[in-house]
Structure 1
């Protein structure tokens, strides 16, 4: 039976009086109401001076919450990392990703482990690459008690267009963008963010080709949120190293369009003298290799190849050299940054400057790029 608001208030008071302090999410679950409804109850009672509201918790007046007790017990010589870890006990973090496949499996895993290590809980929402679903998932997570958000929005180009960022700004909770960015001047550019420096990864791949003696190279990129950054790194490295880009201009293709990619690469090798290619991502590279071989282009003898993402590159028939984003670390850094923001908000301290963090991928060398030096 649903409690009247006055009955609910009395039940809240009784539970908080009995236990001294409770997490808002736990109290909402016990009373069978949404976290949003309970927050309103707590705000009303706090306004009357009948309870105290702390970050994510409600405390009996004059009492001490578990969070406060832990903070008091931490010696003054302990660093602020210890204080932040104590304040994260019981915190609920919402995370929204477009999919749990591909790179996001490890990103989610890294975030979950970082939150759990500080006593919190990660709750996941999946948008299915539908941009309007991001806001729906956020509303659901916040109503369920999430106090901050880690978000990889379903922005098809990796950046917001046409006001896609507005729902993020309207939520009013600490938010960290994950593997996404907003351009300077966009309001969402002021949000914290953690992402892979994909331009750097592409440049490392180009540099490896150059070190092996390749002068005419190209790239086959899949349309999506990372294509622009990979292309920018590729083109910058080609220019810096003085390679012959005119004979191997990159191809940006639609998802699943393998035949045009094969035609492009066969023509690049036979007609333009291209000897090396960067392919994004590695699942696509695995599909392309046997199709190229069926057309008489051998990897790596005729075409050295480096894949991007390294999800399954090492399992290919010809193990693929690959650019490997630091996926788990991206999730870990993003979660720790968000926990820090929540701790700052809870303590009332001046927030530290917002951060745009880029982690560098590494190149994992395998068979597909070959090792012989080509004539210049």
Structure 2
């Protein structure tokens, strides 16, 4: 199944931002497309000011970590985000704006996709003189999350977690955090579809991050308790969306087949790319969106640029970064920050209605 051009370009952008630079030939091999195709995509991204192009190489326009001897003592904040995570790169841009306006230098660290990758990066940043931290650990599973609690809770500099909320009562519950209220976002999606007359809904989410786990729990809880939802089911949004299990046969079923089985007239998917791929899958089975099936995406990173612009729940990604940076700066102001209690800030997502949802009138199914 051919990947939409805008999705492919987002993947190129995320890959280059994660590494700082990449060879065009390597990107082509990873994306399984021709070098000519990648060159064309890079030219468009360069023209938009999102990448810098060299001879056979493409570079990120994000700030690079400064060498230790160039970071002014006591004037750097380390930002640690996962590799290939476009969602959190938007939060990074929000934080960058606030920190640069305050005259604070940023040392950006990209955590590779392996368990425990954040700890050595944080230790290096502290050794280089970072006086504060903004963190978004990958935490693909609850076990990985809990494994980080001890060393994160022992940090001796102010730290703020972005889009991460440790378990209440855990060793890390005394660390500041700024998150989207994903339960509120889940409710927006369900209420939107119910208001349009949909009574049978399939939910498909990832299961490999704190956001994914929260969203799955919220969607299924809200649908299960809703008096107007006649039937619903949950499944993984793609074969690569979960690392653990065990999952039932239905939870790993092809989504178009699950929609047919449940006679569902609507679906909510986390995230945008999987929602766009579902629309392509439905089209191959002569199912029209939104005429036969309404689709809501969760994330709103590339939802609006599909062939059918997707109705989407849009977490306040950049604002999460801005608020986290503002909170960290307050903590760094020793005259005030040390006296404040721990803060857990939640920001509400919004619903952006586009062309992938419409009213369903046959409620007698």
TM normalised by structure 1 equals: 0.71
Q: Deviation digits for residues 182-201 of structure 1, max 9, x if unmatched?
A: 10121101110001111211
Report the CA distance shift for 1:255/1:128 in structure 2 as closer, same or farther (over 3 A).
farther
- Is 1:232 matched with 2:220? no
Give the secondary structure class of the aligned counterpart of 1:234: helix
Q: Deviation digits for residues 85-107 of structure 1, max 9, x if unmatched?
A: xxxxxx31111001254211211
1:309 corresponds to: 299
Residue 254 of structure 1: how far off its partner (Å): 5.3
Residue 29 of structure 1: how far off its partner (Å): 3.2
Give the secondary structure class of the aligned counterpart of 1:230: helix
2:111 corresponds to: 127
Report the CA distance shift for 1:199/1:280 in structure 2 as closer, same or farther (over 3 A).
same
CA distance, structure 1, for counterparts of residue 259 and residue 85 of structure 2: 33
Q: 2:139 aligns with which of 155, 165, 168?
A: 155
- Is 1:223 matched with 2:223? no
1:356 corresponds to: 344
Kept after mapping to 2: 8 A contact 1:158/1:180:
no
Give the secondary structure class of the aligned counterpart of 2:292: coil
Q: Deviation digits for residues 163-208 of structure 1, max 9, x if unmatched?
A: 3222212331111111112101211011100011112111100000
Decide which structure has the larger Cα Rg and report it.
1
2:236 corresponds to: 252
Q: Which runs of 5+ in 2 are unaligned?
A: 1-65, 243-249
Give the secondary structure class of the aligned counterpart of 2:228: coil
1:321 corresponds to: 311
1:365 corresponds to: 353
Aligned pairs for 1:46-195 (under 5 A) are 56=74, 91-99=75-83, 101-157=85-141, 161-195=145-179
Q: Deviation digits for residues 255-306 of structure 1, max 9, x if unmatched?
A: 5479x88954333433322111101100111112111111222211111100
Report the CA distance shift for 1:213/1:315 in structure 2 as closer, same or farther (over 3 A).
same
Report how many aligned residue pairs link the two structures. 291
Report the CA distance shift for 1:364/1:212 in structure 2 as closer, same or farther (over 3 A).
same
Q: RMSD of aligned C-alpha atoms?
A: 2.7
Residue 152 of structure 1: how far off its partner (Å): 0.6
TM normalised by structure 2 equals: 0.73
Q: Which runs of 5+ in 1 are unaligned?
A: 1-25, 39-55, 57-90
Please identify, of 301-310 and 163-172, the stretch whose mean Cα deviation from structure 2 is larger: 163-172
- Is 1:29 matched with 2:69? yes
